[in-house]
Homo-oligomer: A and B are copies of this chain.
Amino acid sequence: MTRQEILQQIQTKKSYLCVGLDSDFSRIPKHLMKYDDPVFEFNKQIIDATKDLCVSYKPNLAFYESMGVKGWQSLEKTMKYIPEEHFTIADAKRGDIGNTSRMYAKAFFEEFNFDSVTVAPYMGIDSVQPFLDFEGKWVILLALTSNKGSNDFQFASQDGEMPLYEKVMRTAQTWGTPEQLMFVVGATHPEKFKEIRQIAPDHFLLVPGVGAQGGDLQKLSEYGLNDVCGLLVNSSRGIIFASDGEDFAEQARASALKLQKGMSEILDNILV
C-alpha cells in the first residue's frame, strides 16, 4: 500500500485509528466458544463493527503464536477477511541477521500478505534492510516504546550525542524513506512528540499505548501530527475487550467511535 493510499483513507474516514487485534483466547466472550474457530469469529465481528471507523488493523502475532497451528490458521483467515483498503500491520517486533530477516519478511509479506511489519532495531541495518527490500511494503521500526522498560535503554545518551531512540530514528532515515518506513512511538511519552516530529518530520508514527496503557489522544496529537496527519494511533484492549459479554462488538464499536470522533475533530483543524 502506498503512502498516498493511506492518506486518502485517513481523509475519507476522518480517522487515523488502528485497531489492535490482540485476540487473547482467554478473554474472548464465552458465547463464541461454540464456533469452530472462536478467535477468527471474534476478529470477524470486531472487524465488521469497526471497519468504517479505522484505517488499519494490527494483529499482535504473540496471541496467534501462543495457540500453535490453530492460531496460525485463525490469523490466515483474519487476514483474508480484513478489507483491502485497510493498512495491515504484523505486530511481530522481529529482527535477525540478514538471511533470517529475509525469511520473516517472506512470512509476513508473502505468506500472509501484510502491508507492514514492526521491527526491532537492536541488530542494526542488515536486520532491517531485508524488510525494506520488499516493494510496496513497510517497516515500522521501534523507536520509543510505550512500556515501563522503555526507560532501561532507550533514553541513554549515545556517545554523548543523543538518546538511543533518537539515534535509531536518525540512523534509520538513511536506510528508508517516508514511503516505506514508519516509527513506533508510545503514547505514554506525550511530552516527547514535539521533539520527535523534529527528528522525523515526514515519517508516519505508529502510536500504541492509548486506552489500556493510559496515553492521551489529544495531547499526543497536538504535537505528533504533521501537515498530512502522519499518525496511526492504535488501541487494542480498550476496543476489542470493551465488553466481555454478547454485546462485545457493539461496545467495541462504541469505543472505536469515541476515538474516531476525537480524531475527526482534530483532523478538521489541520486538513483543510
The reply to whether A122 and B125 contact each other, CB–CB distance below 8 Å, is no
A157 at the interface (CB under 8 A from B): yes
Given A62-B100, A104-B65, A156-B159, decide whether A149 and B125 contact each other with a Cβ distance below 8 A: yes
Q: CB distance A126 to B112 under 8 Å?
A: no
A218 touches B (CB below 8 Å): no
The one of B120, B128, B146, B157 in contact with A97, judged by C-beta atoms closer than 8 angstroms, is B146
Contact (A65, B107) CB under 8 Å given A93-B94, A142-B122, A142-B123 = yes
On whether the beta carbons of B167 and A156 are closer than 8 Å, the reply is: yes
- Taking a contact as CB atoms under 8 Å apart, the answer to whether A124 and B154 are in contact is yes
User: Within the assembled complex, what's the spacing in Å between the Cα atoms of A53 and B96?
Assistant: 27
**In the complex this chain forms, how many copies of it are found?**
2
Which interface class (under 10, 10 to 19, 20 to 34, 35 or more) fits A? 35 or more
- Interface residues in A155-180 by Cβ distance below 8 A to B read 156-160, 164, 167-168, 171
Any B CB within 8 A of the CB of A73: yes
Q: With A62-B103, A120-B122, A124-B147 known to touch, is A160 a contact of B158 (CB < 8 Å)?
A: no
Query: Which 4 pairs, one residue from A and one from B, show the smallest C-beta to C-beta distance?
Result: A124-B149, A124-B152, A62-B103, A156-B158
Q: List 5 A-B contacts (CB under 8 A).
A: A65-B103, A97-B146, A97-B208, A122-B145, A157-B158
Q: Kindly list 20 other residue pairs between chains A and B, CB separation below 8 angstroms, not including A65-B107, A93-B96, A152-B171.
A: A24-B99, A60-B100, A60-B103, A62-B107, A67-B111, A68-B112, A69-B69, A69-B73, A93-B95, A97-B208, A120-B123, A123-B145, A124-B150, A124-B153, A126-B149, A153-B167, A157-B160, A158-B158, A160-B160, A164-B164
